Structure 1
């Protein structure tokens, strides 16, 4: 390896491939890891000899490729995990046998990853973001980068390490990082958990009969669906408030990312050009809109609410209906407090566990997306 800063990207999907081309484009040494059982994109890059990017990033790029975790761990002390949440356990199992005491792990989207692996990995620190840095997707072997956010929320677990340990982290990201106090705040700020499951289950018949042949935002989020989204969002904000966090509503966050001036989420959904450029609709109900966002976001939200005395009835209903639809008890199989080892903790103990320090600045609500010229992105998968 050269003397340039190196980064290992764990996961060769939409976000992983985009992060790889962006880092190579900015002069980093990059390794892109694909799991041996999920190596389609890795094999395609090897076959073509390069990774092609279009729109906000243009060119042919040549990251180092690997399907062995040992190679990724040795390549860099920065490990950026971009796999979906239901792939986290596989990654944790692969990493737990390595000495990671000098490594910093960044999980995108985190969804309480740091808490899930706190007893398994001995990493120096684990950082989580609540979204992807990019609006991007991989299509026909090409990375299409519709836009790059100008700001990204992030938090560290534990959050007691000094700046010297992660002072290079801002160099890795293409936008300004806004540091939250702890990973509970990041986990509670996921807009995917508010939007995706509700719009999916309230359009179940349409998804199954058309195989997703409609626009998820414009057609799927009617005023009534938008009202349910807003109800779950109010419950999320109440849980966050009981934990001591003042967070943005999902509408405020989306307007900050993409612009506009709307009072109702359904109006934003109908008018957003970014999300309506393609339909981006699940073709079946086992899609990650449900299979990831319900068990790994709504379940821990609901259980945290129960812990602090917030009755989130609409959120509970969404989890239970999703469980019936997919024949899975998401409350049992999801990222619940028992699986996180936190079911016996009080509110005070929960906050002490994640480190309720106040040394970082809160996130500004002025973040916007920088779209590529004449881009037609679908940002619902990678926000």
Structure 2
């Protein structure tokens, strides 16, 4: 990984990448719902696009047709010049690497990519969930990666999209503003200059602590899924997930989780909005409490519950969001009983140990750091 003394060289390299304009090469890692939407959109814009996916057969249609058809708010055919299950081949020559996979894959991807990364490449986690950039950076260091790369974390995914076939996707919407932060954060303006040509929707986040703790899915998804487990398993998820799944008692649990998230943010000196305020800002929701605010959210109408509780709302959001929140909080002496309760419930109901498999201060590389040391890491490197 890059040394503190090398940042001037990194900035100069990123300036050269920005000057390439639409000759800038993008590599999209992941060929699922989000990955093919992003790769197709980048191709439509006119960028050279390369793709990686670990399951080679999922790339066959893209290779056969030479790209991806996109419909919805974006329409057209996006060329993909390379689609490969060989990570070294896919990363070769890429200026920006967009990782669009479940966050459970980030750790392994860092180890897989480490030998092939080159100076000046930008790696963006779409999104990072909680602690994604810190974990990715720490694993690159453990792998003794020498490349001067910049790891970036998006607060959420820029698209609402769905894969129709292996080379066709529907983009329902593109978010107006998605906070992103580089690690360290003083590089964020330089990174934005590079990626703005493709994604003007990306805006500067304060730092990766902020993007990690603005993870509202951690508040909503695990508890809402587990507390509706009986209904989900009886109906196969045939009910309105948010509008019918929420109730005053369920909302009290979500509110307790959100209160603990906000307490952690305050302890770390991070300013963030509550889940209720986020609903107001994002969806023009209304209501004096979280239950009423969720029920008033028109955008949630028609969204069905998962068909099973064995869903990414549990196997991704618990180990990659709630577990790191609890671990970071414990590192600084902050109690999180509601978050811990949901982790324990997920472990019991799914027969897993998400604490053992999830992100912790150790895997993030911040164990034992003071708040001041942590801030120095995320702002200065």
Q: CA RMSD in A?
A: 2.3
1:252-289 deviation per Cα after TM superposition (whole angstroms, max 9, x unaligned) = 2233222233333323333433332341x222222110
Does the 8 A contact of 2:287 with 2:296 survive in 1? no
What is aligned with 2:78?
A: 61
What is aligned with 1:234?
A: 259
Per the alignment, in what secondary structure is the counterpart of residue 51 of structure 1? strand
Within the candidate set 324, 345, 351, 2:375 is matched to 351
Correspondence 1:292-371 to 2 at 5 A: 292-355=316-379
**Structure 1-normalised TM-score?**
0.85
Structure 1 residue 168 displacement after superposition: 1.1
Does the 8 A contact of 1:194 with 1:233 survive in 2? yes
Per the alignment, in what secondary structure is the counterpart of residue 131 of structure 1? coil
Does the 8 A contact of 2:138 with 2:364 survive in 1? no
When the two structures are aligned, how many residues end up with a matched partner? 353
1:124–1:48 distance in 2 versus 1, CA, 3 Å:
closer
CA distance in 2 between counterparts of 1:84 and 1:98 reads: 21
Structure 2 unaligned regions, length at least 5:
1-19, 141-146
CA distance in 2 between counterparts of 1:140 and 1:75 reads: 28
Per the alignment, in what secondary structure is the counterpart of residue 137 of structure 2? coil
Per the alignment, in what secondary structure is the counterpart of residue 12 of structure 1? coil
Asked if 1:82 corresponds to 2:100, the answer is yes
1:36-75 deviation per Cα after TM superposition (whole angstroms, max 9, x unaligned) = 36x53x2343455542222211223322322221122114
1:3–1:288 distance in 2 versus 1, CA, 3 Å:
closer
Correspondence 1:1-383 to 2 at 5 A: 4-36=23-55, 39-40=57-58, 42-47=59-64, 50-64=67-81, 65-111=83-129, 112-121=131-140, 122-141=147-166, 142-161=168-187, 163-164=189-190, 167-175=193-201, 177-279=202-304, 281-355=305-379
1:25–1:257 distance in 2 versus 1, CA, 3 Å:
farther
Structure 1 unaligned regions, length at least 5:
358-383
Higher relative contact order (CA 8 A, sep 6+): 1
Does the 8 A contact of 2:52 with 2:87 survive in 1? yes
Does the 8 A contact of 1:31 with 1:75 survive in 2? no
CA distance in 1 between counterparts of 2:61 and 2:225 reads: 31
Per the alignment, in what secondary structure is the counterpart of residue 137 of structure 1? strand
**Structure 2-normalised TM-score?**
0.86
Does the 8 A contact of 1:307 with 1:347 survive in 2? no
Does the 8 A contact of 2:159 with 2:171 survive in 1? yes
1:96-154 deviation per Cα after TM superposition (whole angstroms, max 9, x unaligned) = 11243221101111122221122433442111011001111223453121111111111
1:58–1:231 distance in 2 versus 1, CA, 3 Å:
same
1:162-211 deviation per Cα after TM superposition (whole angstroms, max 9, x unaligned) = 85565212223141x33123211111111111110010110111222222
CA distance in 1 between counterparts of 2:98 and 2:224 reads: 30
What is aligned with 2:10?
A: none
Moved more, 89-98 or 117-126: 117-126
Per the alignment, in what secondary structure is the counterpart of residue 162 of structure 2? strand
Does the 8 A contact of 1:36 with 1:68 survive in 2? no
Q: Which has the higher helix share?
A: 2
Moved more, 337-346 or 194-203: 337-346
1:254–1:137 distance in 2 versus 1, CA, 3 Å:
farther
Does the 8 A contact of 2:331 with 2:361 survive in 1? no
CA distance in 1 between counterparts of 2:263 and 2:199 reads: 31
Moved more, 262-271 or 343-352: 262-271
Structure 1 residue 325 displacement after superposition: 1.2
